[in-house]
Chain A
Amino acid sequence: MDDLYRDFILEHYKRPRNFGELPAHDHDAHEVNPLCGDELGVQIVVADGRIADLRFQGHGCAISQAAASMASEELIGMQLDEAATLDAGWMLDLLGIPISATRRKCALLSLKVVRHALTGDGSWPGEPDS
């Protein structure tokens, strides 16, 4: 068993949840990982102060795709104000695998693009209280 490429990571990579298009949406954003040129976009539909629906578009490595897929399952139904404050720790805990410094941006790209869509802040997610 590989520490990084765990079964659930590969499963999300091969069959990513909530990938596609939401032509009618309230928020969207598009980001590029400067390390590798991978791209990820997101479209979000809001209802009653919550993320009612969400789709990612793009391509990337197993880590970035699995992170997006796993995050999507948590984000749909989440209160907007809670989603807007998610930090890097949330994403890394959700992934539950050891992420080296060189792969950190792969792991955080999906959260970055969601935060960008919801808050207009396109910076990389920081640590709690950072």
Chain B
Amino acid sequence: MSHPLRGAPRAARRPGLRGVLDVRLGLPLLILALLSGWLIWQRDWPALLLCAAAAGLLWARRDADSKAKASLATPPTLDAGVRRMATAVIPAWTRQLSAIQSTTQSGANELLASFSNLMELQDQFEKMLARQATSEELQALSRDMQTLSEQAMHGLQFGDRLAQMVDILRLDTEQFLARMPSMAETSDNSAQDWLNALETRFTTEEQRQFHHGQPAAPKADKVDFF
């Protein structure tokens, strides 16, 4: 876990220069105070007035300087919180992008295979027409076409799965942006809670496997009867 001050400016961690500035302003104030006492003793009121004005200016400068110092010393907790959350969440998004890539690839391959087989079948059909094929041959061709159209319909479904996967990722990035201003108090636990919430939105086994950094295992189409 990173320390909240790890990314802070060097001046915030080592206030030496600021300390010198304090002494530089504090000493003239002390001298002015002593001078004021002497001027009161001498009853030199105009000089005392000038002395008081100079002291006021110095005090205002010291006040502004201490405020600036305080703001520099404040740990950048929001940055640290966002950094901690991003460190946990962005790799999970990257893994989901890999899942999307895998789904795209397998869907495209399946469709390409269908079209390639379809073109082959078309060649066969033309040859059959040329040599006046038997009805048995034509029936066999019809069955092959049925299988191919099934394969194409199976392949076409990847588009919908992709849309679903992209939508989950889009919603999560939007939520991340919306939550960013309140991420100052982020802990390792809240980063884990975020990842768990993201996982509950997954519907496919592939998304869950990629979420845990596991390669997607091939899945057989299955019907469960109750």
Partners in one complex: no
